[in-house]
Structure 1
Amino acid sequence: MLDIKAVKKVTVTEQIMEQIAGIITSGQLKPGDQLPNERDLAERFNVTRGRVREALRALSLVGLLTIKAGEGSFVNEQQAPFSPETITWMFYSEIHNLDEVYAARKLIESEVYLLAAGRATQDEQDHLLLILDALVQAKNKQDPAEFLDLLDQFDIYMGEICGNRIYAKLMQTVVHLRRETSLKLLKVPGAVESSTEIRSSLMLAIQSKDKKRIEDSIHAFFEKSKLFYDNIIGKS
């Protein structure tokens, strides 16, 4: 039996969220476990189903739960990726500030690239090369969304292999946060080719295992990126 207490009719949704989050973080519910249905939870909390639904929805936005239509609510794995909707909700007021998006990208992506470069196994390098090959094939298709999906795969995988779980989550955040801007960037003449070139250069540096070369490649990566950011800022 889950340890659920009826809540007062003040900040009801927040109290429900707090109790469910506590149940999950205390280990009473494990990753993959299904929560009781809305009706059962409403009865246990002594609230309406609407309040329960609001709380579950909010917990799904912050990554604790996954809500599956027709099935119910399930506890996420600890390392479950954030959804794009979560990122938009968290940063909706900052997402159009291109200077800040660029600054966040440079800070987080640079550290992730550097850590991943120092740790990447041969199998992991081979996987990155497969994504890079797909990028090369995609650059002539005139489909920025498809090309960006591959860029996102490359960078999220970098986060996964960097060895730091917090950085991996931050990389997921940045990838979603930058998406709208990146679609604009990829429409600037030369941007697709540059994106392929600078990641190819980064992979050569990683394969060389030369830290100075890796650092120089990352620096050049963001120097070129800044030129394209300045281009779209100037047009806005």
Structure 2
Amino acid sequence: MSSEQPKVYLEVIKQINHIINEDQLASGDKLPSERELSDRLDVGRSSVREALRALELLDLIETRRGEGTFIKPFGSYRLVEILLSFLLKDENARKDLTETRRIVELEALKLACERITDDSVQKLNELLTKAKDEWSHGDLPVEEDYLFHKTIVEASHNRLLLNLWVSLVEYNKVAIERSLKREGRMNLALSEHEEIYEALKKRNQKAATAAMRRHLENSRF
């Protein structure tokens, strides 16, 4: 993939987005025809066709045979994932990603303290137990660590926060493993998870937030 390609994709998305805003189109609405887009963007029909194909791959639009091209409900947040895959190649962007993850996770945790169900509390307890069991056998519980945090964000019952968090963390699961492999880190991480769990179980926002902030700082993702 050439280094220019991401810029082309972003430019196309920007231009289509401008037309969507200009025409006040919403999810489910039909986009202008290829010919009209070609005229308005001042590019060839083949370029418009390639742009629409790219946007379809990003799950932002869908083409219905004999009907035209329509805007899809923005549910999968694929665009965030695509952009992050480029961001992770840059050192400064990785620092931004870590900072953004911390902000998203702490805000989700605050909501979770108000909205978490007993089932989610039970799930956190089970993940903690499984993680301890795996570690006692010398295995690094990377997946349990990931799911512990994901369960907390899910408990916020805010779908956009969850999609943002998954996009921020999914591409960087290797960072979780790298963090847990540091000498003495695994035992401390389990203890920190226990502290977060106990505070969440009591719906104690202040204690849970303080424990999560310490945990994320110590994790050095």
Equivalent in the alignment of 2:192: 198
Amino acid aligned to 1:151: D
Aligned mate of 1:176, from 170, 179, 185: 170
> Hey, what's the Cα distance between the residues in 2 that align with 1:77 and 1:150?
31
Contact 2:196 2:212 in 1 (8 A): yes
- State the Cα deviation string for residues 44-75 of structure 1 (Å, max 9, x = none): 98844x864554334544x5369xxxxxxx98
How far apart are 1:162 and its partner, in Å?
A: 0.9
| Unmatched runs of 5 consecutive residues or more in structure 1 | 1-10, 31-40, 67-73, 230-236
CA distance in 2, matches of 1:169, 1:195: 24
Aligned positions of 1:15-26 closer than 5 A: 18=17, 26=26
Q: Distance in 2 between matches of 1:212 and 1:53?
A: 51
Inter-CA distance 131–52: structure 2 relative to 1 (3 Å threshold)? farther
- From 192, 207, 213, give the equivalent of 1:219: 213
Aligned to 2:153: 159
| 8 A Cα contact 2:27 2:71, kept in partner | no
Deviation, 1:197, is 2.3
Superposition map of 1:110-125 within 5 A: 110-125=106-121
Residue of 59, 83, 89 corresponding to 2:86: 89
1:88 CA drift (Å): 1.1
2: CA distance, partners of 1:220 / 1:27: 41
Distance of 1:107 and 1:15 partners within structure 2 = 27
CA separation in 1, counterparts of 2:11 and 2:161?
A: 34
Alpha carbons of structure 1 residues 55 and 90: separation in structure 2 relative to 1, 3 Å: farther
- Report % sequence identity: 15
1:107 aligned partner:
103
CA contact (8 A) 1:198 1:221 kept: yes
Aligned pair partner of 1:136 in 129, 132, 156? 132
1:113, distance to aligned residue in structure 2 (A): 1.5
- Residue equivalent to 2:202: 208
Which residue number corresponds to residue 150 of structure 1?
144
Answer whether contact 1:116 1:159 (CA < 8 A) is retained.
Answer: yes
Q: 1:148 to 1:213 in 2, by over 3 A?
A: same
Tell me if the contact between 2:84 and 2:167 (Cα under 8 Å) persists in the aligned partners.
Answer: yes
Residue 90 of structure 2 aligns to a residue whose secondary structure is: coil
Instruction: For residues 105-162 of structure 1, give each alpha carbon's deviation from its aligned partner in whole angstroms, at most 9, with x where no partner exists.
Output: 3322222122212210112222333333332333356555xx3333222323322221
Question: Is contact 1:13–1:54 with CA below 8 Å preserved after alignment?
Answer: yes
Output the TM-score relative to the length of structure 2. Answer: 0.63
Q: 1:154 to 1:105 in 2, by over 3 A?
A: same
Q: CA deviation at 1:185?
A: 1.4
Give the partner amino acid of 1:120.
I
3-state secondary structure, aligned to 1:221:
helix
Question: Which residue identity does 2:86 align to in structure 1?
Answer: W
Structure 2, unaligned stretches of length 5 or more? 1-9, 39-44, 63-69
Matched positions, count: 198
Counterpart code for 2:165: M
